[in-house]
Structure 1
Amino acid sequence: MYYHIIFDYLTQSKVLLSIAYVAIIICLRWLIVFILKRKPTNEDHFPKRLINSANKIATFTITLGIILIWLSELRFLALSVAAFVVALVMATREYIQCLLGAVYIATTRAFSIGDWIKVGDHYGEVVRSDWLSTALLEIEVSNKSYEYTGETLILPNNKFLISSVTNLNFIKRYVAHSFIITREPESVNFVQLKEAILLKANEYCLPFKDVAERYNNLLQHRLGISIFGPEASVRLSTSELGKNQITITIFCPTHEALNIEQKLIDDFMLLWYQIVESTKTKS
């Protein structure tokens, strides 16, 4: 009766069963090795090969037996580990994406510290970039003022994986700045205004014309394309509502773009009203 209880306990206790199983395999391996060593043979290395094979088979048998004994626990452990890994990935998904974004930035070299970039709808100068985020000093480019707003944007690096990144570093020093002046269709000869405004635009850009030419040539050589500049251009057109439009484009230092634009608008308005007043006087 007691023997049955002890046998049932040994078979149910996987720890004791594992110890017994390993002990039996080790004893069998020892017995086989002992017999092989005592067996005479004409080949010197033949017993050594058999002993090595016996050791490998014993190790494999022990490993396989332990796995089979603890199979249910190992299956539960594997499920627990898988569930833990899934939960960990879900909890740290944003951080993992940020790390991947940092790797993407480092490998593509899309920008470096000090560059002007556009990410989605955000414009700014890169001041810091680490494994999780990138800091930008926001720049007002959409309204073409090219001025710092005083705000700092902290963008998670995963944004670089889902948004297009544009390097605007070529407009950091010089820019092809365009703006449009729209007027009602009146008895004013826009062609006369075009020539006068073109002269004014070239006059305002004259002080930095030499540097603009060198920078323009540098950009064309680096990009391998032909770009606007350094001479100014004036183009006449009409809007969808039939109003007269004059489009002025200048190649100038970025920090001077807004100032020159304002001067040209002032000149245009003065010329416009001079023509209108002279027309009224004649009539």
Structure 2
Amino acid sequence: MTSFSDFQFYFQHIVTTAIFFFSLIAIRFLVVKQISQSKISPAETKRSIIVRVNNAFIVLIFFTIITIWSNELKTMAISFVAIAAAIAIATKEFFLCFIGGLYKWLAKPFSIGDRIEILNYRGEVADFKFMSTTLLEIGPGKDHYQYTGRTLVIPNSIYLTNSIAKESHSESFTLHTFIVPISKNEDWKSCEANLLFAAQESCKSYLEEAKRFYLSEKHFFVLGPVSIEPRVQFSISNLNQIDMIVRIPCPSLQTNKVQQNIIRTFLELQSEKKEKIKNDRLGANAF
């Protein structure tokens, strides 16, 4: 039977826990409110700071409760080892998600606003918690760079066993590669010339700035002497198709815009070429 002293002891612990909990919640609210009202730019930086503050307070609340109830938890752990083992097995995914979140918080493989790809998930990081990460999906597929309108919530356990591909968001420029397929019956030399011309025209306005960026000491040390001029290479994916592989430098987060400009210009040049061939044939038949 529980004595009055035991009741008083637990009551004090409960009151202490409640005071610390609500105090930390109030402080967190005031800090987040202050950050939200501050003039921090860009917006991704402010969102990132708010997420870090929220996560820091979650950790602080967790360890505060553990500290207050440490003796009781130690007694319970000794008394209920079998139960604890069963709970650990039952909540395996929960702990994996928490450890994955802890890994992300310490390793910082990406930040709020970065575009990442992991397994079949691809999108812009909108929010991060210790259990899950929220992405604004980008696609459809791996060859497109626009928002699909869907929001993806993925468990953080995924980071423990899979690699993360990050599309640079903090750098001024990035190297972008995409494929333009053509039929094996096409005049591949003419297609190559038109595609290369379209790439050069689309990159002309910022190419010199991109060269200076990649020749800077920071990037030269990592990449060495690298040519960033637009280029076209070939690959044969099957007997009926030739893939023209385009690599260009472009401003970060403008890859879709530049890619679309290049493809549109290429298609216009191809249409003009076919129209010219058609007119030449009609002129020849007239004679």
**Which of the five TM-score ranges fits, normalised by the shorter chain?**
0.5 to 0.7
CA contact (8 A) 1:178 1:247 kept: yes
Question: Is 1:212–2:210 an aligned residue pair?
Answer: yes
SS of equivalent residue, structure 1 residue 112? coil
- The one-letter code sitting in structure 2 at the alignment partner of 1:176 is H
1:249 deviates by 3.1
Question: What residue is the counterpart of 1:100 in the other structure?
Answer: 99
Residues 118 and 92 of structure 1: is their aligned pair in 2 closer, same or farther, counting only changes over 3 Å? same
Counterparts of 1:21-36 in structure 2, within 5 Å, are none
Pick the aligned partner of 1:251 from 228, 249, 255. Answer: 249
1:241-280 correspondence runs (5 A): 241=239, 243-253=241-251, 254-274=255-275, 276-277=277-278, 280=281
The aligned residue for residue 161 of structure 1 is 160
| Alignment-mate amino acid for residue 133 of structure 1 | S
Confirm or deny that 1:198 pairs with 2:196.
yes
- Return the alpha-carbon distance in structure 1 between the equivalents of residues 115 and 77 of structure 2: 49
Paired residues of 1:230 and 1:250 also in contact (CA < 8 A): yes
Normalising by the residue count of structure 1, what TM-score does the alignment of the two structures yield?
0.60
Q: What do residues 58-110 of structure 1 show as CA deviations (whole Å, max 9, x unaligned)?
A: xxxxxxxxxxxxxxxxxxx9996222112221232221111111121122221
Per the TM alignment, residue 146 of structure 1 is displaced from its structure 2 partner at its CA by: 1.0
Q: Is the 8 A contact 2:113 2:169 kept in 1?
A: no
1:118 touches 1:165 (CA, 8 Å); kept in 2? yes
> Alignment partner of 1:180: what SS?
strand
- Tell me the equivalent position of 1:135: 134
Other-structure match for 1:178: 178
**CA shift in 2, pair 1:219/1:239, >3 Å:** farther
Displacement of 1:154:
0.8
Seq. identity, %: 25
Match for 1:256: what amino acid?
Answer: K
Q: CA RMSD in A?
A: 3.3
Offset of residue 166 of structure 1: 1.9
Structure 1 residue runs without a partner (length 5+): 1-76
Q: Which residue pairs with 2:80 in the alignment? A: 81
Over 3 Å counting, the alpha-carbon distance change for 1:116 and 1:228 in structure 2 is farther
1:238-265 CA-to-partner distances (Å, cap 9, x unmatched) read: 5531555544333224242342233233
Structure with higher Rg: it is 1
Report the AA paired with residue 240 of structure 1. Answer: N
Distance 1:129 1:78, change over 3 A: closer
Secondary structure of 1:224's match? helix
CA distance, structure 2, for counterparts of residue 231 and residue 180 of structure 1: 18
Aligned length: 205
Q: Which residue number in structure 1 is paired with residue 144 of structure 2?
A: 145
Give the AA of the match of 1:89: A
Q: CA deviation at 1:226?
A: 5.1
Q: Give TM-score, length-normalised by structure 2.
A: 0.59
Q: Distance in 1 between matches of 2:220 and 2:128?
A: 26
- Unaligned 5+ segments in structure 2 are 1-75
Decide whether aligned partners of structure 1 residues 273 and 150 sit closer, same or farther in structure 2, where only a CA change above 3 A counts.
same
Distance 1:191 1:262, change over 3 A: closer
